Amino acid sequence: MKRIISILLENEFGALSRVVGLFSQRGYNIDTLTVAPTDDETLSRLTLTTQGDDQMAEQIVKQLHKLIDTLKVVDLTQGPHIERELLLVKIKATDSDVRTELKSCVEIFRGHIIDVTPSTYTVQLAGDSDKLDAFIEAVTHMGIMEVVRSGVSGISRGDKFIRV
Amino acid sequence: MELLSGGDILIRALRDVGVKHVWGYPGGAALHIYDAIYRQEDVVHLLVRHEQAAVHAADGFSRATGEVGTALVTSGPGATNAITGIATAYMDSIPLVVISGQVPSSKIGQDAFQETDMVGVSRPIVKHSFLVTKPEDIAATIAKAYYIAGTGRPGPVVVDIPKDVTEPNYKVPYEFPSEVKMRSYQPSDKGHRGQIKRAVKTLLEAKRPVIYAGGGVVIDNAAEHLIAVARKLNYPVTNTLMGLGCYPGTDRQFVGMLGMHGTFEANTAMHHADVIFAIGARFDDRVTNELEKFCPLATIIHVDIDPTTVSKNIVADIPIVGTCTSVLKEMLSLIEQSGNTPDGEAIGQWWQQIDEWRAKHGLYTASRYEPSGGDLIKPQDVIKALYKVTKGGAIVTSDVGQHQMFAAQYYLFDKPRQWINSGGLGTMGFGLPAAMGAKLAFPDTDVACVTGEGSIQMCIQELSACSQHNLPVKIINLNNAALGMVRQWQDMQYNSRYSQSVYEDSLPDFVALAEAYGHVGMKVTKFDELEEKMRECFAMKDRVVFMDICIDRSEHVYPMHMPGGSMRDLWLSKTERT
């Protein structure tokens, strides 16, 4: 099953490469990966998604925790959580029918058209991965030129939080 | 505050962290550091002949003493030569700090002369690594490096220092941190009390228990506590290859090593056990054989300092994360408090069964291997002679192959840190430099490197370092003129097609070679002169002696796990199996 793992990491030289290296070294796959400094600049927050059963997820969490630079590791899929991913997609839109259909599609999915040229529309859409997949499927026949996805960012619901 | 250059700060910090010896090899990017070494006397540098040996020697020193070992190498090839040594230490959880010179900061990334991304290259085989970017950071980084290497599950730490950071003309205040605190690294210590209680209850109710103790017990200096618990319970104890010595090899409760070349009684007892108490061991594939068939009846108690080791290969029924010492002490006091004792009748029957197994196929039963005589010297008898001559008190290092297994089986180690070998990585070439490290630590103890004519040639150049630093180790070369373990597998699985495992006539004259390095060489070809020559060898306390012993070329190591089988599925000889 899909796992969303959140990591709080020292924002140090080589820290990210240790996380990424761990996955290839131990034979796990990374499906998506996002990383950026937090409000505390000495820390990075990293979200990655991977596939695995409970035993594998437990082992991944333990292995990540063993890295000297990691402060917290949480498998968000263990509890209620929110996941969001950003999608930017450039679509061929020369035909006025396509432009109309695309606009309504973007509205239905609550996205935004953020760039327009005589021949293209660029759409921005945020949501969970399934929603982004559904949008891409809905517009594929119109002629997709480019797809950019940010990878998943996640946070737990309710009172739980990950902080040092 | 005193102003010092980066090079001087490094050496001063090594002194202040307690380092007395550094094994290494100089080169361009490390020259400021080497100059700093020259200008002081607190930290002694020992020059080796190849950087791999520097790391192995530091490793051998660490294994013999329990202290963090230190190696120093230059950038590029110096750093990459150190890699095998670092990986060896990593696999066996040995605390080391390896300091590497790096090209100047301004040249990093430019494919400069002797540039290698050492932090990148070593990443999968270190506990942690640092790239020091300014001299002000050196002392704190060294303090952290030794702290990380030596605490929790120990391991090697690399400190990569660009040449400009050790520049002699740039001086900064020197201050060594009084303590190390890291918010992201706080190794656990005591195990969960509730889990330990459950473990004690399960152990006391066991009918067919086995204590399976590994290298963690050695590393944590927990042998006395293991012995106390084992004796209290009167349960059989088996050791992994890495654990040998943590329970006395001559003790009645010791059933020998387990695993691929473990004893019949240890492997069979494991298979039939109802409770397995694993401590400081990691259910390595050379122990378990086929995981699906592993000990089907057993409840598994698993104690380890490293949470990732617990339930990695075999799911533990009672996982306990903590140091071997703290958990064993707690267990002993809980056993005593409970007032309960093991089921005497069941344990009595269990011992009766084990003793039957031991009598039937034990290593020391008469029919284990054909007797030596005349020109035929069996490798097992060489180890027995070594044991006899050194009265079981030597520090024995080994390389990797058949000789390693014979040494593990037939030298009965009574003390931890007496047996030093590359168990995890299986590094040929480890034995001689590791022996140098051990001899440096214990100059008055016999140090024997049990090796083969294959392994010894992988670091034989260190015979020169032995002369320079007066390290009179004894080399026991089990010479069968072939890569014995490779040939054994080729016999068993490749229809005796000896692909690249024989040397034809290319082997050197080891006696002449030893003499060329200024040492004593001895050749033994007759069984009746073996023990006498070995006595002569160990009588020469201040000489390196190279004993080239021509052993039976066709011998195999038995018992041996059958591939794909359970723990009890063993070849007992070339023709017998369980």
In angstroms, the CA B523 to CA B549 distance is: 6
3-state secondary structure of B171: strand
Which residues of B are the active-site residues? 51, 113-114, 163, 485
pLDDT interval class at B364 (50, 70, 90): confident
CB contact under 8 A, B124 and A10: no
The DSSP 8-state label assigned to residue B45 in this structure reads E
Exposure b/e, A80-93, CB count within 10 A at least 16 = b: ebebbbbbbbbbeb
Considering the domain architecture, whether residues A71 and A6 belong to the same structural domain is answered as: yes
In angstroms, the CA A145 to CA A127 distance is: 21
Which tokens sit at B571?
A: 């070849």
pLDDT score at B1:
80
CB contact under 8 A, B131 and A14: yes
Distance from CA of A47 to the nearest CA of B (A): 18
Which domain-ending residue is among A78, A102, A132?
Answer: A78
| Bond before B154 cis per omega within 30 degrees | no
How many interchain CB pairs under 8 A, A with B? Answer: 39
Nearest-Cα residue of chain A relative to residue B316: A55
In angstroms, the CA B327 to CA B324 distance is: 5
CB contact under 8 A, B308 and A63: yes
Q: What is the largest CA-CA distance in chain B?
A: 76
- Read off the CATH number of the domain in which A72 is found: 3.30.70.260
In angstroms, the CA B462 to CA B196 distance is: 47
ipTM for the complex shown: 0.92
Tokens 């064993």 map to which residue?
Answer: B328
- Three-state SS for B385-405 is HHHHHCCCCCEEEECCCHHHH
* Chain A contact for B308 (CB, 8 A cutoff): yes
Looking at the domain assignment, is residue A160 inside a domain? Answer: no
CB contact under 8 A, A71 and B183: yes
pLDDT tens across B257-287, in order?
999 999 999 999 999 999 999 999 999 999 9
Pairing mode of beta strands B545-550, B520-524: parallel
Q: Please, which residues have CB within 8 angstroms of residue B411's CB and are 6 or more apart in sequence?
A: B249, B383, B386, B387, B392, B396, B419, B450
Considering the domain architecture, whether residues A7 and A64 belong to the same structural domain is answered as: yes
For B383-390, what is the mean pLDDT? 98
Considering the domain architecture, whether residues A56 and A15 belong to the same structural domain is answered as: yes
In angstroms, the CA A69 to CA A90 distance is: 38
- Read off the CATH number of the domain in which A122 is found: 3.30.70.1150
3-state secondary structure of B238: strand
Looking at the domain assignment, is residue A159 inside a domain? Answer: no
HSE-up of A49 (CA within 13 Å, CB side)?
16
The DSSP 8-state label assigned to residue B314 in this structure reads S
The DSSP 8-state label assigned to residue B577 in this structure reads B
Looking at the domain assignment, is residue A35 inside a domain? Answer: yes
Question: In angstroms, what CA-CA distances link B303 with A17, B160, B282?
Answer: 30, 34, 9
Distance from CA of A147 to the nearest CA of B (A): 32
* Chain A contact for B171 (CB, 8 A cutoff): no
CA dihedral defined by B507, B508, B510, B512, rounded to 10 degrees?
160
pLDDT tens across A14-71, in order?
999 999 999 999 999 999 999 999 999 999 999 999 999 988 999 999 999 999 999 9
CB contact under 8 A, A68 and B315: no
CB contact under 8 A, A25 and B124: yes
pLDDT tens across A86-142, in order?
999 999 999 999 999 999 999 999 999 999 999 999 999 999 999 999 999 999 999
* Contact (Cβ atoms closer than 8 angstroms) between residue B332 and residue B196: no
Helix (H) or strand (E) holding B305: none
Chain A partners within 8 Å of B133 (Cβ):
13
* Contact (Cβ atoms closer than 8 angstroms) between residue B439 and residue B471: yes
Chain B partners within 8 Å of A163 (Cβ):
none
Q: How many CB atoms lie within 10 A of CB B337?
A: 9
Is the Cα torsion angle B466, B472, B477, B483 positive or negative in sign?
A: negative
3-state secondary structure of B448: strand
Tokens 């520090």 map to which residue?
Answer: B395
pLDDT interval class at B368 (50, 70, 90): confident
Percent residues over pLDDT 70 in chain B = 100
Considering the domain architecture, whether residues A43 and A89 belong to the same structural domain is answered as: no
Considering the domain architecture, whether residues A6 and A74 belong to the same structural domain is answered as: yes
pLDDT tens across B453-477, in order?
999 999 999 999 999 999 999 999 9
Q: Which domain holds residue A87?
A: 82-152
3-state secondary structure of B145: helix
Which tokens sit at A50?
A: 């991977």
Full strand arrangement of the beta sheet holding B447-452: B419-420, B395-398, B447-452, B474-479, B545-550, B520-524
pLDDT score at B440:
98
Considering the domain architecture, whether residues A47 and A98 belong to the same structural domain is answered as: no
Q: How many CB atoms lie within 10 A of CB B173?
A: 12
Chain A partners within 8 Å of B155 (Cβ):
none
Considering the domain architecture, whether residues A129 and A117 belong to the same structural domain is answered as: yes
* Residue from the list A13, A59, A70 with its beta carbon closest to the beta carbon of B184: A70
Looking at the domain assignment, is residue A6 inside a domain? Answer: yes
In angstroms, the CA B43 to CA B11 distance is: 7
Angle between helices B379-389 and B530-539 (to 10 degrees): 40
In angstroms, the CA A119 to CA B259 distance is: 69
pLDDT score at B105:
97
pLDDT interval class at B536 (50, 70, 90): very high
CB contact under 8 A, A68 and B128: yes
Which domain-ending residue is among A78, A101, A124?
Answer: A78
Q: What is the largest CA-CA distance in chain A?
A: 56
Chain B partners within 8 Å of A70 (Cβ):
184
Q: Please, which residues have CB within 8 angstroms of residue B225's CB and are 6 or more apart in sequence?
A: B324, B325, B328, B329, B332
Which domain-ending residue is among A33, A63, A78?
Answer: A78
On the question of pLDDT at B34 being above 80, the answer is: yes
Q: How many domains does chain A have?
A: 2
The closest of B52, B113, B45, B41 to B87, measured between CA atoms, is B52
- For chain A, what's the residue count? 164
The closest of B264, B298, B306 to B281, measured between CA atoms, is B306
Looking at the domain assignment, is residue A157 inside a domain? Answer: no
Considering the domain architecture, whether residues A71 and A8 belong to the same structural domain is answered as: yes
The DSSP 8-state label assigned to residue B245 in this structure reads T
Chain B partners within 8 Å of A65 (Cβ):
307
Cross-strand pairs, A47: A6, A34
pLDDT tens across A28-37, in order?
999 999 999 9
Considering the domain architecture, whether residues A88 and A73 belong to the same structural domain is answered as: no
DSSP chain A: -EEEEEEEEE--TTHHHHHHHHHHHTTPPPSEEEEEE-SSTTEEEEEEEEE--HHHHHHHHHHHHHSTTEEEEEEGGGS-EEEEEEEEEEEE--SHHHHHHHHHHHHHTT-EEEEE-SSEEEEEEEE-HHHHHHHHHHHHHHHEEEEEE---EEEESTT-----
Q: Please, which residues have CB within 8 angstroms of residue A155's CB and are 6 or more apart in sequence?
A: A6, A76, A81, A82
* Contact (Cβ atoms closer than 8 angstroms) between residue B216 and residue B324: yes
In angstroms, the CA B369 to CA B414 distance is: 24
B237 backbone dihedrals φ, ψ, rounded to 5°? -120, 130
Considering the domain architecture, whether residues A94 and A122 belong to the same structural domain is answered as: yes
Domains in chain B: ranges and CATH: 3-173 (3.40.50.970), 193-361 (3.40.50.1220), 370-557 (3.40.50.970)
CB contact under 8 A, B307 and A17: no
Chain A partners within 8 Å of B183 (Cβ):
71, 164
Looking at the domain assignment, is residue A158 inside a domain? Answer: no
In angstroms, the CA B271 to CA B268 distance is: 5
pLDDT tens across B61-82, in order?
999 999 999 999 999 999 999 9
Q: How many CB atoms lie within 10 A of CB B332?
A: 17
On the question of pLDDT at B114 being above 80, the answer is: yes
* Contact (Cβ atoms closer than 8 angstroms) between residue B343 and residue B255: no
Percent residues over pLDDT 70 in chain A = 100
pLDDT score at A105:
95
Considering the domain architecture, whether residues A17 and A69 belong to the same structural domain is answered as: yes
Considering the domain architecture, whether residues A71 and A87 belong to the same structural domain is answered as: no
pLDDT score at B106:
97
